[in-house]
A and B are shown apart, each in its own frame.
Chain A
């Protein structure tokens, strides 16, 4: 483009003054009418309703040649002022098709900065353009627009589709410096950190698996890559394959807990699910055992013990293990129903004894094998003179 031509373009696109034409009518009213007419004619072209409402026909005329006219009719609008009036008229008409048509024209014929600046104060047109850019996949243009508008949160959440892991990581990293709300910043930071960790863990574990040295990986081969999995899933994976690792390594559960500030409840639930799946009852035990200051151990859980029982039972824990935890269920009714359901005889017996419910205890005899240890237990309790039965 020659220099003169460039200057001319400059003039047309940035000038606030109306273009001079011979059939000039020097007032704003006619300019407005002009735009209105153009918009209306556009609408006719774009939306070919022959609104003959008496007969309610929707028939449209073939538009073959009119398409060219659309372009012609818009080319009339050369100055910036004209274009803006055209845009405002289109927006007032509410027809999305027309607005998009005008935006396509403006995108083609206006300098980017000017277009952005004008759209900043025209919300509806702006929304249309963003939607249009998303539809047509014009990622770069869209990102430039969002950056110009300081709509940083949308930049981050417009994570482009089909990005591979490395690119996504880089993209997230570039978002971190931008001014978001505190909450959103921490989510983005976490997302980035998690992905970083997952990349490391994945590389490491894949290597381990292929080397074939680890028994755990041999016995329980991985079904999927850990990349892009949610945090809790990653924690489960870590509790499954890397439970015993010290806090220093990226793949250890305690490291994950600390880095992402995972609350106790969630941590215990996930660790429990993982260890139960591996049938590592000792680990399960350790999860709930705490030493108090006198050196005595006691069991407690940030989640109800009935939940613990549920998860253990789902993983086919042996009755002896189940029994331990059913015993710890605080609510008596729940404890009884779980114990009965899972045949934790000792717990049932002990509970009825504590409730001093003789009738139920006798009734329960029918549920245990005659002559078994449990049967003996019931008998000895029934024979205990010291108990003050309530029935």
Chain B
């Protein structure tokens, strides 16, 4: 069932199993039939740990979405709230509890499961509303790192970046450290920790302190990970702003991938039946799951989009040929063999059909004039051209009132590629944006400045060209079909964060000391003691395993780049990726926008 989790170098099934065990224990504690009231935000991540079938095994008979008003009728003994520790949600729960008909029999017991942590503030709030006593079991479910795929873990904490960099709130870093302790309990102590950035430093400190405070945690598990690399998102603010050009990256940019699911416009997926003329087209969006369990997807997800077409057409030929085999099957034995392979072939054909449709949808967008113009400007900035003046294309887009996030991505990209904009240029953009989209956006612009994304140039020096040249971030001769360098994921730009990981493995960060100093935050190395006998003796030719933890978010393109490094012959290192959240430029900027109050009329 967990094919996608066991496919990698590290078997992440164990992590999911641990999560499931915890859940089962809590459900059993609330003995009897139950109904779960869900915080909608949690249903996605939970779905990656346990399906409804598991819940049913533990007497979960109904599931509802958390909303104000009276709880729906359900003949169950227990009502369990699965919620994040947020005050707004506490208000809704209070409403639900107060409206419960105490006269009904049998009475229903209430319980709360806080995910990932209990919160004193929330419980205090419930107490003040007078409902705290109504709950029998109040517990927490530490869903920190959720396995998304065989080499990918995420906390799905969408406010982590904002909290850490704008609000000096390090709670999510604390959760990250806790998640790492859990990983170490299952997969062994990680002997070497490298890091770059203030948050990285905090997480490492927390890990060390946690280890010290729980001496019983020395376990006898043979370490699976050789190295942990902690990276602050703000060490590389550039990469998420650029439009991703891998197949998976583009799906995320255009349609948004949530907890490995994507919702697509249904028209292209309607089954074409012969003889049925123009029947009702489906109106519900087509929902697909995207992970490495699907063979074809695993093959094309990390490719540059321009290389996907040829893979799909080759596959089409292979599958056609395979189906043709039925004409050649003569003996009973041969027919039997053909029939036994039929399900696999049908799955492959359906997979091919889906991805051909998706590729067509994406192509419509990538061949549009607007996409091309936008990409051209992005690439100009990333290669260092004209980053110090007001850009005509951006001005035109503002004048034509293109979506604000698109504008913000571009001006932030320009600012980062110029180490901050000249005051005149910055003022000009700000004025145009405020005049066109409204003065209330000054709050968002403030946030972007605080995060370092859109700010005035201080010190008059632009460091970006040096960083770009030293780390070879812009590669002119990119081979999209058969890449030889990670820059293929952005058709020319090598993600700075992944370059740092690449150089750490070989030849080491000493060789880029000067450049590292230009990037924000300290860089450091820590070693953790392994109990004797567990020192890893690597076989000749065996790769190291490095866990790269992005604090503040990671893009699918960066994941693709790291997978590329893992596959490289003589690369020497295989990577597993962890993050606080899977992001793209749009969702990232959105998380930094201030919520605007609704118009009073």
Spot the interface stretch: A247-255, A260-268, A323-331, A364-372.
A260-268
With A162-B600, A164-B600, A190-B439 given, is the CB distance from A60 to B216 under 8 Å?
no
In the complex formed, the residue of A with least CB distance to B423 is A183
Spot the interface stretch: B132-140, B251-259, B261-269, B406-414.
B132-140
In the complex formed, the residue of A with least CB distance to B184 is A53
B218 to A: closest C-beta gap in Å: 9
With A97-B119, A104-B124, A184-B442 given, is the CB distance from A128 to B435 under 8 Å?
no
Q: Mark B138-182, 1 if CB is under 8 A from A, else 0.
A: 111110000000000000000000000001111101100010011
In the complex formed, the residue of A with least CB distance to B142 is A58
Which residues from B are CB-within-8-Å of A229?
A: 438
Tell whether, in the assembled complex, residue A123 and residue B168 are in contact, meaning their CB atoms are under 8 Å apart.
yes
A64 to B171, CA, bound (A): 24
A53 to B: closest C-beta gap in Å: 4
Tell whether, in the assembled complex, residue B435 and residue A100 are in contact, meaning their CB atoms are under 8 Å apart.
no
A49 close to B (CB within 8 Å): yes
A45 to B137, CA, bound (A): 15
Tell whether, in the assembled complex, residue A58 and residue B22 are in contact, meaning their CB atoms are under 8 Å apart.
yes
A189 to B216, CA, bound (A): 62
B443 close to A (CB within 8 Å): yes
Tell whether, in the assembled complex, residue A163 and residue B600 are in contact, meaning their CB atoms are under 8 Å apart.
yes
With A48-B118, A62-B138, A94-B202 given, is the CB distance from A54 to B435 under 8 Å?
no
With A135-B87, A183-B430 given, is the CB distance from A97 to B121 under 8 Å?
yes
In the complex formed, the residue of B with least CB distance to A224 is B601
B541 to A: closest C-beta gap in Å: 32
A51 to B: closest C-beta gap in Å: 5
B597 to A: closest C-beta gap in Å: 4
Tell whether, in the assembled complex, residue A96 and residue B138 are in contact, meaning their CB atoms are under 8 Å apart.
no
Tell whether, in the assembled complex, residue B597 and residue A159 are in contact, meaning their CB atoms are under 8 Å apart.
yes
**B216 interface neighbour in A53, A161, A191, Cβ under 8 Å:** A53
A49 to B142, CA, bound (A): 9
**B186 interface neighbour in A56, A262, A269, Cβ under 8 Å:** A56
A124 close to B (CB within 8 Å): yes
Secondary structure call for the B interface:
helix
Tell whether, in the assembled complex, residue A230 and residue B435 are in contact, meaning their CB atoms are under 8 Å apart.
yes
Tell whether, in the assembled complex, residue A153 and residue B117 are in contact, meaning their CB atoms are under 8 Å apart.
no
B271 to A: closest C-beta gap in Å: 38
Tell whether, in the assembled complex, residue B599 and residue A228 are in contact, meaning their CB atoms are under 8 Å apart.
yes
Tell whether, in the assembled complex, residue A230 and residue B120 are in contact, meaning their CB atoms are under 8 Å apart.
no
A46 to B357, CA, bound (A): 50
**A183 interface neighbour in B168, B427, B439, Cβ under 8 Å:** B427
A60 to B594, CA, bound (A): 36
Q: Mark B438-466, 1 if CB is under 8 A from A, else 0.
A: 11101100100000000000000000000
With A58-B141, A124-B168, A231-B436 given, is the CB distance from A161 to B399 under 8 Å?
no
B354 close to A (CB within 8 Å): no
A317 to B265, CA, bound (A): 34
A127 close to B (CB within 8 Å): yes
B165 to A: closest C-beta gap in Å: 11
Tell whether, in the assembled complex, residue B439 and residue A194 are in contact, meaning their CB atoms are under 8 Å apart.
yes
Which residues from B are CB-within-8-Å of A97?
A: 117-121, 171
**A47 interface neighbour in B25, B117, B399, B598, Cβ under 8 Å:** B117
- Supplied contacts A187-B430, A228-B601, 5 more A-B pairs, CB within 8 Å: A47-B140, A56-B186, A59-B25, A165-B600, A230-B435
User: 7 nearest interchain CB pairs?
Assistant: A96-B171, A127-B168, A191-B439, A230-B438, A53-B217, A161-B597, A231-B435
A-B contact pairs, 12 of them (CB 8 A): A48-B139, A49-B142, A53-B214, A56-B185, A56-B186, A94-B202, A135-B87, A136-B87, A187-B439, A194-B439, A227-B601, A228-B438
**Chain B residues close to A by CB (< 8 Å):** 18, 22, 25-26, 87, 117-121, 123-124, 127, 132, 137-142, 167-171, 173-174, 178, 181-182, 185-186, 202, 206, 214, 216-217, 219, 399, 401, 427, 430-432, 434-440, 442-443, 446, 594, 597-601
**Chain A residues close to B by CB (< 8 Å):** 45-49, 51-54, 56-60, 62-64, 67, 70, 94-98, 100-101, 104, 123-124, 127-128, 130-132, 135-136, 153, 157, 159-165, 183-184, 187-188, 190-191, 194, 225, 227-232, 260, 262, 265-266, 269
